[in-house]
Structure 1
């Protein structure tokens, strides 16, 4: 990964019914109103790496933010460098 190749976008929502619709026990996981969604754009293609990444993310969120991992949704969106334009409308990796 090139130096400084990291970007973060954080969007916070208040925890009101108008901000999100969630089911409290989807897939058998009992959640409360403190749900957190994290979406990553990444190039992790191996299932083992994805599982490790999700587990480590849950550990860090629990340790550093006091959020119960049962309230954490992690979505990995795979892409390649060819899927990015890093300004000014140029697909630098194509």
Structure 2
């Protein structure tokens, strides 16, 4: 018997299927996270709180057999690019690399 160990390419409903799966996995953490497909933001007020939340999310992702690409992961950032915007502690702005018209 053949069984996929990862989501196969070419399946037309692949993004929607994965989004529903990650929605289910992340539901217990929705008070302090934001996610879209395989991008997850974790919000915290302190470094200790951040570490605790990241550990809890890693445990959940392990339970759902979702792997983290540690080469792409960014931890404890004060500002971060996310889906075409830059999120700062006090504001959100457009990513200048994705803005078509500049001055």
Range of TM-score over shorter length? 0.3 to 0.5
TM-score (norm 2): 0.33
TM-score (norm 1): 0.36
Higher relative contact order (CA 8 A, sep 6+): 1
